[in-house]
Chain A
Amino acid sequence: MLFIYTYHICKNSDLTLLFTLLLFNDKITLVQIERRAKTIMTVEPLYSDDTAPSVPSRSTVFLQGLITFLWWAAWAVLAVFIIVFLTASLALAGVEPLKNQLFTEINPVAVIVSSMSMIIGVGAFLIILKQLRAICQTLVIGDPFVPQNAQRLRIIWIAVAAAEVLRLLSGFFLSSLMTNGIAAQNNTVVSLDLRISVWFLVFAFIIFAEVFREGTRLRQEQKLTV
């Protein structure tokens, strides 16, 4: 009882360890106690503190700034194309001043289709930027290998692929529209330009996303390794 009492009195001193050792391991010799006391006093932390906030690197700060700039620039471009789209729609609907002054040489349908494809393209760009911003945020926090980031990479390649498909479709539609309008010129053809580099990028992104998913799984396992 006395020992337990002493233990509680000076809980944090190394002396108590000797008492507790005497109390609970009566077979232990004095030499062993001394040796143990030495090791106890020189216990170094096994792992660094996980909760310590990491300082974001300069490149991360730069990337974040760049992403924020691109984000607002993309919104501005989106606004411009929405205005063009609305103007063309009004002209098509029969607003005379617009039709006579602005769309004398250009077919408003072509403008609508091209501006719509641009709106979708910029929209996809915004979606990608939003994901990149969130990924950068996790990088600043210090733990980018989270399952949400794997999901974000997946969203990015889907957005790139969807935007490319829509660009192909609108390009196809526009070229067929133009050739209908100018039937006599034989040099205009219905074009279908497949961009190999974009599809290769999508392919690479799919692989990266899957590798990242596996990485996050390993990270989760590492988190639960004590």
Chain B
Amino acid sequence: MAIHVNLDRVLVDRRMSLTELADRVGITLANLSILKTGKARAVRFSTLNALCRELNCQPADLLVYAPDENEDSEIKAAE
């Protein structure tokens, strides 16, 4: 996947723990970990909204597009 979640960096910048963010946003820690480790397949707008509100940031701060070298082969494999 070429979309990377930069939640780690934003959390460090805000000096906030993952548990604290989970409490504030109202998402379970397990789900937030899924997002942080890049296992998530999709993000709801409501989640993104809550994250941006609590971290006082833009979606672009959280999500970064960096093309993978082997992305083409991944797409071909998926097809």
A50's closest neighbor in chain B, by CB? B28
Are B24 and A226 in contact, CB atoms less than 8 angstroms apart? no
Are A46 and B42 in contact, CB atoms less than 8 angstroms apart? no
B26 interfacial contact with A, CB 8 Å: yes
Are A43 and B26 in contact, CB atoms less than 8 angstroms apart? yes
A208, B30: Cα distance in complex, Å: 32
Contacts of A46 in B (CB 8 A): 25-27, 44, 46-47, 50
Contacts of B56 in A (CB 8 A): 21, 24-25, 28, 36
How many residues of B are in contact with the other chain, CB < 8 A? 27
A142, B40: Cα distance in complex, Å: 22
How many residues of A are in contact with the other chain, CB < 8 A? 23
A24, B20: Cα distance in complex, Å: 17
A32's closest neighbor in chain B, by CB? B56
Answer whether A224 and B26 are a contact pair too, CB < 8 Å, given A24-B14, A43-B50: no
Are A20 and B47 in contact, CB atoms less than 8 angstroms apart? no
Are B47 and A226 in contact, CB atoms less than 8 angstroms apart? yes
Contacts of A39 in B (CB 8 A): 53
Q: Which of A24, A36, A50, A221 contacts B42 (CB 8 A)?
A: A221
Which of A20, A46, A51 has the most B CB atoms < 10 Å from its CB? A46
Are A11 and B20 in contact, CB atoms less than 8 angstroms apart? yes
Are B26 and A47 in contact, CB atoms less than 8 angstroms apart? yes
Are B15 and A226 in contact, CB atoms less than 8 angstroms apart? no
Are A47 and B27 in contact, CB atoms less than 8 angstroms apart? yes
Q: Which of A40, A50, A224 contacts B54 (CB 8 A)?
A: A40
Are A49 and B15 in contact, CB atoms less than 8 angstroms apart? no
B53's closest neighbor in chain A, by CB? A39
Are A51 and B43 in contact, CB atoms less than 8 angstroms apart? no
B56's closest neighbor in chain A, by CB? A25
Distance in angstroms from A158 CB to nearest chain B CB is: 29
A59 interfacial contact with B, CB 8 Å: no
B33's closest neighbor in chain A, by CB? A226
Q: Which of A7, A25, A221 contacts B15 (CB 8 A)?
A: A7
Chain B, 32-51, CB within 8 A of any chain A CB: 32, 34-35, 39-44, 46-47, 50
A201, B72: Cα distance in complex, Å: 44
A45 interfacial contact with B, CB 8 Å: yes
Residue pairs across A and B with Cβ atoms less than 8 A apart, 8 shown, are: A7-B15, A20-B15, A24-B13, A24-B56, A47-B26, A221-B41, A225-B42, A225-B44
Which 7 pairs show the lowest CB-CB distances between chains A and B?
Answer: A45-B26, A224-B41, A225-B42, A226-B35, A46-B26, A226-B40, A226-B31
Given A20-B14, A43-B50, A226-B34; 14 other pairs, CB 8 A cutoff: A4-B15, A24-B56, A43-B24, A45-B27, A46-B44, A46-B46, A46-B50, A47-B27, A51-B28, A224-B34, A225-B44, A226-B35, A226-B42, A226-B43
